[in-house]
Homo-oligomer: A and B are copies of this chain.
Amino acid sequence: MSKDLRRAAPTLEDVAKVAGVSRATVSRVINGKRKVAPAVQEVVLEAVAETGYVPNRAARSLVTRRTGTVAVVISGADADPDGELDLSGVFSDPFFGRVVGSLVRTLRPHDVHPVLMFADDEQTRAQVVSYLRFGNADGALLVSTYADDPLPEALIGTGSPIVLFARPSHPIPASYVDLANADGARLAANHLLDRGCRTLGVISGPLDVPSARDRLDGFRDAAARRGHAFVPSVAGSFTFESGETAMTELLAATPDLDGVFVSNDLMAQGAIHVLQEHGRRVPDDVAIVGFDDSPVALQTRPRLTTVRQPVEQMAQEMARMLLEQIDADEPAVRSSIFEPVLVVRDSA
């Protein structure tokens, strides 16, 4: 049954016969590559409609060496027995879903299909690399979740176009989109100081991750400019639980804390819980500013004041850059940096 249906798929030859022209001409009309007489063009288009013709991807791909697919790779550190950042929970941070969703959406009208891949050990990284090396996809969009990920460099080695989300921890010749993280952190610092906070603290991300580093540095920089020579910080790992742990620690070290900047919303949520369990009112006793403006920012009580990262737009730009690189013969390494915005709600 299924086979019959598939076999029934009309080929170029069929369309050509119906239109009374050659296969080559039909191909030209469909791809719009060369001039075809308007009358002929019309006849061909009618024949296409009549037969319900759709080009066979595999056949086309065989000769053009284009697949019409790109790899969307989420890369995580090798799953340690004791490693906390396991890729299996990666989607519990809505961040990745937002990125992937936006990529899918942007690619769709270009008829480019995203193949989703996870890479979290040597074997799966090798799989991704060989997938690209042998032309199974026209390029890769890579979201890495940890520092010193070897994958970006390995992918460059395949010669395929790639675009990264966020600047890699070591400089490599790859295009990327990123956020002006330090600027975002400055917004947070100034907001906390403007509302009168006197004793600041930071829950950062892992400090070998550039974006986490930049957020901490930016915050400290802005605080220093306003007289706060030192701001204590504790590093988390961007998970809810690590936010709880970090807040507990920060609170123990600095009990008179009255303003905390947290490097992402998920950790901020954990931090708020801990503060409330310690009887601190948010924002009255301690003000909190998060980062990302993810859906969870609306699910905390009080609602989270946070630095918005336009994830969807950034992902869109990633996809665009990749498509551009795929079309270009001479691929250029480019970057695109987005500006964060402070979204004021109730937590600060």
Q: Which of B56, B98, B104, B127 contacts A135 (CB 8 A)?
A: B56
Q: Are B114 and A116 in contact (CB under 8 A)?
A: yes
**A89 in contact with B295 given A56-B62, A97-B96 (CB within 8 Å):** yes
| Interface: A20 (CB within 8 A) | no
A71 CB to closest chain B CB (Å) equals 9
* Residues in chain B near residue A115, CB distance under 8 A: 69, 113-116
* Cβ-closest chain B residue relative to A96: B97
What's the tally of chain A residues with a CB closer than 8 Å to chain B?
66
* Cβ-closest chain B residue relative to A98: B91
Q: Are B5 and A133 in contact (CB under 8 A)?
A: yes
Pull 24 A–B residue pairs with CB atoms less than 8 Å apart, ordered by A: A2-B159, A2-B331, A3-B65, A5-B158, A5-B159, A6-B159, A9-B135, A54-B133, A56-B62, A56-B134, A57-B136, A58-B67, A58-B135, A69-B69, A104-B116, A113-B131, A114-B116, A116-B116, A240-B295, A240-B299, A241-B298, A276-B301, A277-B301, A296-B299
A115 to B295, CA, bound (A): 25
* Residues in chain B near residue A187, CB distance under 8 A: none
* Cβ-closest chain B residue relative to A6: B135
A48 CB to closest chain B CB (Å) equals 13
* Cβ-closest chain B residue relative to A269: B299
A96 CB to closest chain B CB (Å) equals 7
A128 CB to closest chain B CB (Å) equals 10
